[in-house]
Amino acid sequence: MEGVEHRIVKVNGINMHVAEKGQGPVILFVHGFPELWYSWRHQIAALSSKGYRAVAPDLRGYGDTDAPDSVTCYTCFHIVGDLVELLNTIAPDEQVFVVGHDWGAIIAWYLCLFRPDKVKAVFTLSVPFTPRNPQMKPTDGWRAVYGNDYYICRFQEYGEVEAEFAEMGTETVMKSLLTYKVPDPLMLPKGKPFGHSVNTPITLPSWLSEEEVNYYVTKFNKSGFTGVINYYRNFDRYLILFPTLNIPVIGTFYLLSHDLTLHVCVCARRNWELMAPWGGCEVKVAAKFVVGDVDLVYYMPGMKEYIHNGGFKKEVPMLEEVVVMEGVGHFIHMEKPDEINNLIYDFFHQFD
């Protein structure tokens, strides 16, 4: 992209790749799955031309940012910690604007919850802030509603989906994910992820070119999918893994041999358990939320009622507006860039 500067910033023990353009108040763009800084290409160009400094990192595990080996290195605290240290480096004395989509929206909400002093206003896409349910772990709820083939449930088994994605090929995986535009839950049945064969042609929508897909393919061929899927493994699973033996053990630890050299990863109900101290806390940052009415997140059980009947506003009392865009799917910022760019600008401009 013309005029975009790229650099590596050392944050929180890792090297983070950051793309940026423009001068002025900082807008931090936080991407989701399976994306990169590049997913914000339209927003970077538009907002930098309107007097903002657009900053878009590859999150840990993605693109040209380091991908730590251990699944335990992908909790919400690690990701937010990366962003806080990035802000301390690029805007040490400044409250910034934050835009997040998908997992990036989740992380943006956490950033506002943990460090509201860092955020002037937040604009999120697709995923609203939802409070922690102390009675049920997230994956238990999803499994009860959707079954074991639901993509988040499939992601819990270490290495399994990665092997299936490798067999399909990165290009097919990326096209299948980025073109998914139905309100139904994403299912990845074993042996036939996405419900179609590897050779099934995938037609790209008008907003996504082969050249753009190839950028994602190149980066994911380099990084693989384990790091990015580890975000999902930190929802709440209890995992002990012996990588040298490829033996995952859920919930219980057994010492196999007194003379065995063990390399152990432990993931103990990570985000769900670690978030307990923030139970009942509100997000007290000015916010705006946008979702497409064909977005699969919008059709999760109870989601529409939560967004529109007061639950969302209760948890985020400074929520100024919810916008539902007709006929738009999950990758809303790429599908309708001009509309999203204008909504972001109009919202943030009032705080300048």
Own/partner long-range contacts of 268-271 (Cβ < 8 Å, ≥24 apart): 268/238, 269/137, 269/236, 269/237, 269/238, 270/72, 270/75, 270/234, 270/235, 270/236, 270/237, 271/75, 271/76, 271/234, 271/235, 271/236
Edge-first strand listing for the sheet containing 247-250 = 247-250, 238-242, 265-268
232 belongs to the catalytic site: yes
298 belongs to the catalytic site: no
Query: In DSSP terms, which residues pair with 337 in a beta bridge?
Result: none
User: Sign of the CA dihedral 173, 174, 176, 182?
Assistant: positive
Catalytic residue among 62, 232, 298, 306: 232
Check whether the bond before 131 is cis (ω within 30° of 0). no
Catalytic residue among 17, 78, 101, 330: 330
330 belongs to the catalytic site: yes
Catalytic residue among 58, 102, 236, 295: 102
What is the rounded distance in angstroms from the CA atom of residue 279 to the CA atom of residue 310?
18
Contact 115, 289 (CB under 8 A): no
Catalytic residue list: 102, 232, 330
